[in-house]
């Protein structure tokens, strides 16, 4: 497995996003209930976040809970929310020790009051940290995010605060949850599934995609480094030719 010394820290992506998938399947392999996989997955989160900050990433987004996840069995949702409350409380110290700022995106008002309160406290406490920004996507749906952006723009046009000519990529971006966060250059998904699952669909238009069969509870910073090495081996052309890229870099 690679370690951080194998990585060129001068060509790191500014922002990495991760779809943390496979907790339930991991638990099933251990003959445990699904929630056990989520609990063990917290260790993967801690190690990955610390590894990301240590290597020098500026933004790390974790897909923690989707809007569709509310359709899971009530017992699992309750356990997940309780785990989220406890994890945020316990890990705030880790964030402070590593100079990491916490922010959250999604339909946060859907979260239970206790969970939202703990999240708000952690966000406030870490707000002055500046080594890395950790973004938690909670009750998140990319389609809803885009629809809400369109609705907000429509309201501004209706009120006269915007005109039709003001609608462009930049104005749409400014109405997304991530308006003040750079788009991810690398998207990682664990568990071997080859889909995006309604995650940052606008933002990942030019992201490099990396899929690994590792289930999330087994993911560690070395696996992150492996994904970063793969990213650094790719040529990012953004519609240009290889020859154009070579000239620009000459």
Q: Which residues does the annotation mark as catalytic?
A: 21, 69
Rg of the chain, C-alpha, whole Å = 19
Provide the 3-class DSSP secondary structure of residue 26.
Answer: helix
**Distance, CA of 138 to CA of 83 (rounded, Å):** 13
Give residue 213's Cα distance to chain centre: 18
d(CA 178, CA 153): 16
Which stretches of the chain are DSSP H helices? 23-29, 34-55, 74-97, 113-125, 142-159, 169-173, 221-232, 242-249
Which strand ranges, in their side-by-side order, compose the sheet holding 186-189? 100-105, 132-140, 59-66, 15-19, 186-189, 208-211
Decide: 108 and 139 in contact? Cβ < 8 Å. Answer: yes
Tokens 């194998």 -> residue: 6
Q: In angstroms, rounded to a whole number, what is the distance separating the alpha carbons of residues 15 and 137?
A: 14
**Please, which residues bridge with residue 59 across strands?**
15, 133
d(CA 110, CA 69): 12
Instruction: Give dist(CA 107, CA 137) in Å, integer.
Output: 9
């Amino acid at each position: 497995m690679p370690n951080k010394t194998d990585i060129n820290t001068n060509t790191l992506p500014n922002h990495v996003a991760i779809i943390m998938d496979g907790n339930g399947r991991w638990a099933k392999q251990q003959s445990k209930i699904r929630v056990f996989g989520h609990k063990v997955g917290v260790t993967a989160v801690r190690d990955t976040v610390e590894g990301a900050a240590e290597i020098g990433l500026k933004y790390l987004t974790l897909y923690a809970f989707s809007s569709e996840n509310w359709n899971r069995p009530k017992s699992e949702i309750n356990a997940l929310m309780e785990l989220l409350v406890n994890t945020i409380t316990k890990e705030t110290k880790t964030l402070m020790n590593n100079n990491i700022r916490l922010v959250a995106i999604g339909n946060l008002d859907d979260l239970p009051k206790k969970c939202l309160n703990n999240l708000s406290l952690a966000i406030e406490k870490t707000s002055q940290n500046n080594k890395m920004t950790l973004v938690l996507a909670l009750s998140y749906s990319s389609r809803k995010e885009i629809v809400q952006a369109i609705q907000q723009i429509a309201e501004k046009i209706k009120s006269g605060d915007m005109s039709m000519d003001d609608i462009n990529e930049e104005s749409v971006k400014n109405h997304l949850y991530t308006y003040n966060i750079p788009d991810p250059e690398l998207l990682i998904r664990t568990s071997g599934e080859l889909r995006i699952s309604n995650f940052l669909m606008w933002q990942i238009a030019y992201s490099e995609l990396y899929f690994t069969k590792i289930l999330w509870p087994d993911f560690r910073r070395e696996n992150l480094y492996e994904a970063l090495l793969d990213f650094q081996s790719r040529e990012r052309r953004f519609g240009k030719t290889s020859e154009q890229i070579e000239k620009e870099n000459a």
